[in-house]
Chains A and B, each alone.
Chain A
């Protein structure tokens, strides 16, 4: 079986459309992961045990179970309790939730890395919690987090093919459909692989640029 470039050109537009879904799912999931992760991190660091303990347990639970099970849970189990979620939404929610638990650990490490003296100076200046986080703590905590968060972005991106398991028409699922319709799997699956490779390398380069920019801004 030879690689058929003509067939490649034929399926390229369909795959390109699916690639848009993949990228959309990645971006929305990651934004969700970043926001939820921050909420989890702050809740886990709370001085009130009735906040920090349940949230900590929930984060550990999500982190220690496979994301595929969470995707299935939202898509197949929730409807049995009357909550019907469209496939793409369920997939994005599950991926976002799963990765938010990783992000929350990154945030926690980053926040704990800001020296105590910075918090004390903020207290001595009578800054409220909002201003302390927004103006003092986060600007110092975030730059060192960027490499780790970037890794999770690429990791999440590479896990979006899991959404094919609930028939979201992202790249993998589309390639599978093309394959089953034409009995040619070589080209579509190869193209998907190449797409992920190129995008991952591009994101890694972008993350390095962001890191360099943040470092430059600090001095």
Chain B
């Protein structure tokens, strides 16, 4: 089966600092991949280059069989221009650690903006879609509230609904519970769990929630120093890690909890 996401020899540098090193990674359609690792290991960068928030220096990223970071010109792959990015980027949605909701819009308007402007939906269609999604994340009573009136957990659920309103095939979750008070983490994870059950979505999530990764993911990837140091199904990965770095990381993280 063709992978939904393919990283092929991807290198990402910030100046002299190499953050991703010739990374190869295939993610199957509908697969849920949890990405863990110490800070600075490149795990968030992996999502950011996939969302095209950062350019890559080497390699190619494919999404749904199409090159994302590149486009075909006379049978050759050349770096993508903005038009190409806009045509492929729509397959991907992203939820950020700090929500990044639009503060001057209500929850409903946050979820309507892109469907109206990008997909060309009518106001009524977009509103129906947004309302349905906000209901799914349990916020049907907060549709007209501005983000400043919502708790962190509620804001993050709006952000999830906003990303889903574009009907992406791939969803990226970048430490989406890290900025939340501990008692609000559960409501966000429940929404993600529900998404996984009810929708055909490929998901990549960078997370520090080991329990959630173990229960939810089909595969866990451990990043170290810009590479995938170890990966496997969660049961195996957590109960019998092979790599010494994985073991050190897991024991440090689990000790803290």
A135 to B113 CA separation, bound complex (whole angstroms): 8
Asked whether A218 lies within 8 Å of B104 as measured between CB atoms, the reply is: yes
Q: Which residues of A contact B92 (CB under 8 A)?
A: 124
Asked whether A219 lies within 8 Å of B117 as measured between CB atoms, the reply is: no
Number of interface residues of B (CB under 8 A): 25
A52 at the interface (CB under 8 A from B): no
Asked whether B103 lies within 8 Å of A123 as measured between CB atoms, the reply is: no
- CB-CB under 8 A for A126 and B53, given A117-B96, A135-B113, A219-B148: no
B52 at the interface (CB under 8 A from A): yes
Asked whether B148 lies within 8 Å of A126 as measured between CB atoms, the reply is: no
Nearest CB in chain A to that of B118: its residue: A126
Q: Which residues of B contact A218 (CB under 8 A)?
A: 103-104
B89 at the interface (CB under 8 A from A): yes
**What are some 7 contacts across the A-B interface (CB < 8 A)?**
A124-B51, A124-B163, A125-B166, A126-B86, A127-B117, A135-B102, A135-B113
Asked whether A121 lies within 8 Å of B102 as measured between CB atoms, the reply is: yes
Number of interface residues of A (CB under 8 A): 18
B192 at the interface (CB under 8 A from A): no
Report B's interface with A, CB cutoff 8 A.
51-53, 86, 89-90, 92-94, 96, 98, 100-104, 113-114, 117-118, 146, 148, 162-163, 166
- CB-CB under 8 A for A117 and B98, given A125-B166, A131-B117: yes
6 further contact pairs, Cβ within 8 A, besides A124-B96, A128-B118 = A117-B98, A124-B53, A125-B93, A125-B163, A136-B113, A218-B104
- Interface residue ranges of A146-174 to B (CB < 8 Å): none
Asked whether B94 lies within 8 Å of A128 as measured between CB atoms, the reply is: no
- CB-CB under 8 A for A139 and B86, given A128-B118, A219-B148: no
A126 to B87 CA separation, bound complex (whole angstroms): 9
Asked whether B104 lies within 8 Å of A117 as measured between CB atoms, the reply is: no
Q: Which residues of B contact A131 (CB under 8 A)?
A: 113, 117-118
Asked whether B100 lies within 8 Å of A121 as measured between CB atoms, the reply is: yes
Asked whether A136 lies within 8 Å of B118 as measured between CB atoms, the reply is: no
CB distance from B37 to the nearest CB of A (A): 22
Per-residue B-contact encoding for A51-94, CB less than 8 Å = 1, 0 else: 00000000000000000000000000000000000000000000
A145 to B238 CA separation, bound complex (whole angstroms): 53
A140 to B147 CA separation, bound complex (whole angstroms): 14
A10 at the interface (CB under 8 A from B): no
- Interface residue ranges of A114-133 to B (CB < 8 Å): 115, 117-118, 120-121, 123-128, 131
With beta carbons under 8 angstroms apart, the residue of B52, B104, B118, B148 that contacts A125 is B118
CB distance from B87 to the nearest CB of A (A): 9
